[in-house]
């Protein structure tokens, strides 16, 4: 069943819903300390990725590094992280510009970060994109495949680079989406297929790399720039990436 906008009706499997951070998940809790950990967040300059990076800084991570394409967004994002750090004098904040669709660029960025801070303990594979919304009928096949591929390669290339610089107890946190498995939402086929494919890719990474702890998280709808740009993306035919 769907509402008037075409969005599926959401059924809750929990007693409580949260739309803001709450005490139990506060990164300042001692039980959630990230002390001594080097963390790298792809797509960490803005939106969900930056919020994740800020949380790790608040949790006292040894270092928090962010990676993305837009240097201006990375600089602003790094400033947010530094301002939030529990111990600014001991939490190193770095950023590297790279296109995650390019494996060589991705590996070079990971190598640069690892050279500065040491082995990477936690990779947050958050980067992705929003292919142009539109119905399957009449959608350009090449653009559809490109939209799906962008989401998959962001995770694929990040993992390939991570495995070369991972610490002894590596963790991969993958930002997924409910769009990967809920009732189809009209016009969101390319995005949903991309997220479903990336979610299955995460499953294979976990199955083939037992030393890596892999967790896929569905954060819910978040009012980020990516969501805010959906209408503009529809109007211009551009894919919005983060």
**pLDDT digit string, tens, across residues 74-101:** 999 999 999 999 777 789 999 999 999 9
Helix, strand, coil percentages for the chain (3-state, nearest 5): 45, 20, 35
Residue 67 DSSP symbol:
E
Q: Which two tokens stand for residue 70?
A: 């837009």
Cβ within 8 Å of residue 3, ≥6 positions away = 9
Residue ranges of domains in the chain, CATH in brackets: 31-241 (3.40.50.720)
Q: Do residues 44 and 123 lie in contact, with contact meaning Cβ atoms separated by under 8 Å?
A: no
What pLDDT shows up at residue 228? 59
Strand pairing category for 63-68 and 38-42: parallel
Q: Which two tokens stand for residue 33?
A: 């300390």
Please give the full DSSP string across 118-156, using - where no structure is assigned: -SEEEEEE---EEPPPB-STT--HHHHHHHHHHHHHHHH
What pLDDT shows up at residue 6? 63
What pLDDT shows up at residue 64? 98
What pLDDT shows up at residue 21? 85
Does the predicted model carry a pTM greater than 0.75?
A: yes
Which residues of the chain are modeled with pLDDT < 50?
Answer: 229-242
Residue 61 DSSP symbol:
B
What pLDDT shows up at residue 220? 76
Q: Do residues 218 and 178 lie in contact, with contact meaning Cβ atoms separated by under 8 Å?
A: yes
What pLDDT shows up at residue 233? 36
Neighbours of 151 (CB within 10 A): 27
Buried b (16+ CB within 10 A) or exposed e, 10-34: eeeeeeeeeeeeeeeeebeeeeeeb
Neighbours of 119 (CB within 10 A): 11
CA 112 to chain centre: 20
């Amino acid at each position: 069943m769907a509402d008037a906008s075409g969005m599926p009706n959401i059924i809750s499997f929990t007693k409580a819903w949260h739309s803001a951070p709450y005490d139990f998940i506060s990164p300042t809790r001692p039980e959630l300390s990230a002390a001594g950990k080097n963390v790298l967040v792809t797509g960490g300059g803005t939106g969900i990725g930056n919020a994740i990076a800020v949380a790790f800084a608040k949790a006292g991570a040894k270092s928090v590094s962010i990676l993305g394409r837009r240097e201006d967004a990375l600089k602003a994002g790094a400033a947010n992280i530094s301002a939030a750090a529990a111990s600014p004098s001991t939490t190193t904040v770095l950023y590297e510009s790279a296109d995650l669709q390019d494996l060589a660029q991705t590996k070079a960025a990971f190598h640069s970060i690892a050279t500065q801070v040491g082995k990477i303990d936690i990779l947050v594979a958050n980067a992705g994109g929003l292919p142009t919304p539109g119905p399957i009928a009449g959608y350009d096949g090449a653009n559809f495949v490109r939209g799906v591929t962008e989401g998959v390669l962001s995770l694929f290339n990040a993992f390939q680079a991570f495995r070369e610089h991972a610490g002894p107890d590596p963790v991969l946190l993958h930002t997924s989406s409910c769009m990967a498995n809920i009732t189809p939402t009209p016009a969101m086929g390319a995005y949903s297929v991309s997220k479903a494919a990336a979610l299955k890719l995460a499953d294979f990474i976990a199955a083939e790399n037992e030393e890596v702890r892999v967790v896929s998280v569905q954060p819910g709808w978040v009012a980020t720039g990516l969501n805010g740009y959906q209408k503009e993306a529809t109007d211009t035919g551009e894919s919005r990436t983060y």
